Structure 1
Amino acid sequence: MFSFNNTLETLKLKHSVLLHLPDRVFMKSLRTLHLDCVDFKDNQSIRFLISGCPNLENLVIDRGYPNVVHTFVIVAPSLKTLSIKDYGGLEDGGYVINAPSLKYLKIEEFSHCGGCCLIENVPMLVEANIKNVSYIVNETILGSLKSAKRLVLDLSPLEITYPTGTIFYQLVNLEMYTRKAEWWNLLALMLDNSPKLQVLKLIGESEPLDLNKDVVVGGKWNQPKNVPECLLSHLKIFVWTGYDWEREEEKEVATYILKNASQLKNANFFTKPIIQSKELNKLEETSEMLKELDGVVRASSSCHLVFVG
């Protein structure tokens, strides 16, 4: 067993390191570990490193490719925050997370890989930020987050399955990006299954769309069959940045929430700025749109509606 300086609290390894640990390590004082472009010779090296830090609280993993080890297993009983960014290269592996004390989880940039992310044990999770993980082959990732009080999601329901029966009983704050295919249908599911939701923030593109990029347009907003409990009893704040009034489904979503959120106190819409001379003729149309939205009969008589262009 390798024993390091027992006073070491933070360790950062970076720049294409290949780590080989033929024996166990022991760093009882280590609280923070950063692995930036670090690969391991084998799975045993990962296990020896993580288990050798019994008081580890913060783990940051930033991986490039190729990776020798496909499946990165994280078993850390004391871990409180975990951030994973992976730029690809996982053909058939991924991550397994077992962290019963975990409170904050961030997973992003699973690009061009067919790996999975199995979240086995995170009962204390408070906040999770899940972005750009369309290549994760895992139907339970959302279900694994059901203890969270705050969620940030940048997902498409066409790529991530919503597990049947998943209820987010603790969720009070939800942020969702509106740039993925049929995001509005995932929103409907989240509203329907988050009975205590108090704050909803939708985040669109802050700048006009680049028409040369592949952009999913159109679609149909499938509103919940019954008005969700969160709209009837709990939702108080609704914020939409990058609101695109020209897209029909966005108008439908905005109208639905205003018509049904009976406890809503504040609804703030930040529309896309008109910054090009050729778009100046849209000013009048924008004004009409704002009047139309302002004219929606709101379920909450005390709702304060704000538009920022």
Structure 2
Amino acid sequence: MQHSENGVLDDENWVWQLPVFDNLKQLELVLSNCNYWEVLPEFLHSTPNLEDLVFENKTLCERRYPRSEWREPKDVPICLLSHLKTISISGFKGQWPERDLAKYLLNNGPFLDKMLIYTDCVEKRKYASFAVVN
């Protein structure tokens, strides 16, 4: 394993190292990179008391050609297991990695009260939201 000033490079991937934000209860991420789901686990691991997570997906990725795949983290983030109550995702494009991420969050969030997913179907200009309530 090699260290650099911005993180750690292991045998396979670049690994982000963020500080721990113990007091953070709400996190809003505005996403502009097609591979946002690759760094999301690190944000979740760095916010153990997170209760509300908001994504705004502003990527311009092709629906049919995702550039990467969602890989479940080795450990489920503490915030997801113990505190996360609401998740809101806007700009959902329906790519398989996005679907896998939403499924992972739903399956591993026992305290999750609500998950809102907003999608903009450009072809038909329809907006939809989905809520999962316990």
**TM-score strictly above 0.5:** yes
Structural mapping, 1:166-205, within 5 Å? 166-205=19-58
Q: CA offset at residue 139 of structure 1?
A: 2.8
Aligned residue for 1:304, secondary structure, equals: coil
Q: Answer whether contact 1:178 1:184 (CA < 8 A) is retained.
A: no
Q: CA offset at residue 162 of structure 1?
A: 2.6
Q: Amino acid of the residue matched to residue 235 of structure 1?
A: L
- Provide the residue aligned with 1:228 in structure 2: 77
- Greater relative contact order, per chain length (Cα 8 Å cut-off, separation 6+): 2
Q: Paired residue for 1:162, among 13, 16, 24?
A: 16
Q: Answer whether contact 1:192 1:224 (CA < 8 A) is retained.
A: no
Q: Answer whether contact 2:34 2:61 (CA < 8 A) is retained.
A: no
Equivalenced residue count is 121
C-alpha separation between the residues in 2 aligned to 1:244 and 1:182?
13
2:113 pairs with 1:265: yes
Q: Answer whether contact 1:203 1:240 (CA < 8 A) is retained.
A: yes
Change (3 A) 1:176 1:210: closer
Change (3 A) 1:248 1:168: same
Q: CA offset at residue 275 of structure 1?
A: 4.3
Structural mapping, 1:125-164, within 5 Å? 139=6, 162-163=16-17
Q: What is the Cα-based RMSD across aligned positions, in Å?
A: 3.2
- Provide the residue aligned with 1:304 in structure 2: 133
Q: CA offset at residue 181 of structure 1?
A: 4.1
C-alpha separation between the residues in 2 aligned to 1:262 and 1:234?
9
Q: Answer whether contact 1:218 1:248 (CA < 8 A) is retained.
A: no
- Provide the residue aligned with 1:144 in structure 2: none
Taking structure 2 as the reference length, the TM-score comes to 0.73
C-alpha separation between the residues in 1 aligned to 2:76 and 2:112?
14
Change (3 A) 1:180 1:210: closer
Q: CA offset at residue 250 of structure 1?
A: 0.5
Change (3 A) 1:228 1:267: same
C-alpha separation between the residues in 2 aligned to 1:267 and 1:174?
14
- 1:10-45, Cα deviation, whole Å (9 max, x unpaired): xxxxxxxxxxxxxxxxxxxxxxxxxxxxxxxxxxxx
Q: Answer whether contact 1:235 1:261 (CA < 8 A) is retained.
A: yes
Aligned residue for 1:238, secondary structure, equals: strand
Q: Answer whether contact 2:34 2:67 (CA < 8 A) is retained.
A: no
- Provide the residue aligned with 1:244 in structure 2: 93
C-alpha separation between the residues in 1 aligned to 2:98 and 2:28?
16
Runs of 4+ in 1 over 2 A off after TM superposition: 161-164, 273-276
Structure 2 spans left out of the alignment, 5+ residues: 8-13
Percent identical: 26
Q: Amino acid of the residue matched to residue 91 of structure 2?
A: G
Q: Amino acid of the residue matched to residue 68 of structure 2?
A: G
Taking structure 1 as the reference length, the TM-score comes to 0.34
Aligned residue for 1:272, secondary structure, equals: strand
Q: Amino acid of the residue matched to residue 304 of structure 1?
A: V
Change (3 A) 1:251 1:263: same
